[in-house]
Every structure is written in structure tokens, then in C-alpha cells.
Amino acid sequence: MILLQAQGVGRSFDGIDLFTNVNLQIQDNSRVGLVGPNGIGKTTLLEIIAGIATPDYGAVTTRKNLSIGYLAQNSGLDSSKEIYAEMLDGFKELRAMEQQMHALEAKIADPATAKDDATYAATLKQYDQLSNDFREQNGYGYEAEIRNVLAGFNFAPERYHDQISTLSGGERSV
């Protein structure tokens, strides 16, 4: 028995086809997977099937009294941020340490600090401890780590400044 059928379903955004002429049929006791790269419309198709969104053309029909559940993707990301800025937020503590190190470097380079041996020694000791902690926590490698993660999810460097709000549902959830 057919539970759900989509015939010639299509959807476009801003005049660009996301997908066209999708035909599918789901039988009773079927198991179905929807697989594909980010941004090709998997989430949009599921929203159409669930009745949350409407297709630009085509139709979805279901067996009478069929109930469809839909768990929306929720990235929890601030859509006003750029991709790289969002990734940097995961390293707030390291970035704060880095700023502290720069402030201590400026203090060490200040001739007034150098005149006071006790202050200079204390500042060097503080800087030494902070730089060791920073190194142990991958402070010199976190930006490379970000680039590797983004590359692993197929985000090219040209996309690092794309706003989160422009990403597909799948891209937001990676």
C-alpha cells in the first residue's frame, strides 16, 4: 500500500531551481534514506513532504489519516555571524589568553617596566606561564584547526565570510 507519493515536485529560490520534477513513492513498511551534499534541498523536500512548505509545482499525496512527524534541524547558530567568526567563538578562552599575552608583550617592551627590576621580572614570569598554558592548549594551532574542520565539511576559504543565514539547513548543522 502506498503511504506517500510525490509527483513532479519542484522548488526554487530567487529564480534558481533547488530541485525539479522529484517523483517518489513510499510503500507501507518501507525504509527510506535521503542522502546528498549540503544545499541541494533535502531539508526543503522533507518540509514539503511534511506539509510545512509548499512546492512551487507538483504535488504530494498521502494515504488517508497518515500522520507525518518532522523534527526540524536546529543549529542554534547566530545567523548574523560569518562562518569563520562562529568557529572562532569556540576558542574564546584561547583568544582571551592571546590578548593577555599581547598586553604583557607591550608591558615588557615598555621602558618604564624595564626600569623596575621587580615589575619586569614579575611580568616576564606571568608571560612565561601564560605562553606555556597557551601553547599546551594549542593556542598556536587553533586557527589551523578551524581551517581543517571547515575544509572537512567542504567549506572553501572563499566561503569563510558567508553569513550563517545564507547557509542551507544541512550546512548550518555541520
SS3 8: strand
Average confidence (pLDDT) over 91-110: 95
Query: Sorting pLDDT into bands at 50, 70 and 90, what band is 72?
Result: confident
More confident position, 166 or 95: 95
For the record, the C-alpha cell of 24 comes out as: 517518489
Percent of the chain whose pLDDT exceeds 90:
61
Task: List the one residue out of 70, 41, 72 whose CA is nearest residue 55.
Answer: 41
Q: How far apart are CA 101 and CA 108, in angstroms?
A: 10
pTM above 0.85, yes or no: no
Average confidence (pLDDT) over 128-136: 95
Average confidence (pLDDT) over 101-110: 95
Q: Report whether 4 contacts 61 (CB < 8 A).
A: yes
Q: How far apart are CA 32 and CA 41, in angstroms?
A: 16
Domains of the chain: 2-62 (3.40.50.300), 83-173 (no CATH)
Average confidence (pLDDT) over 92-99: 94
- The per-residue pLDDT for range 135-156, each reduced to its tens digit, is 999 999 999 999 999 998 889 9
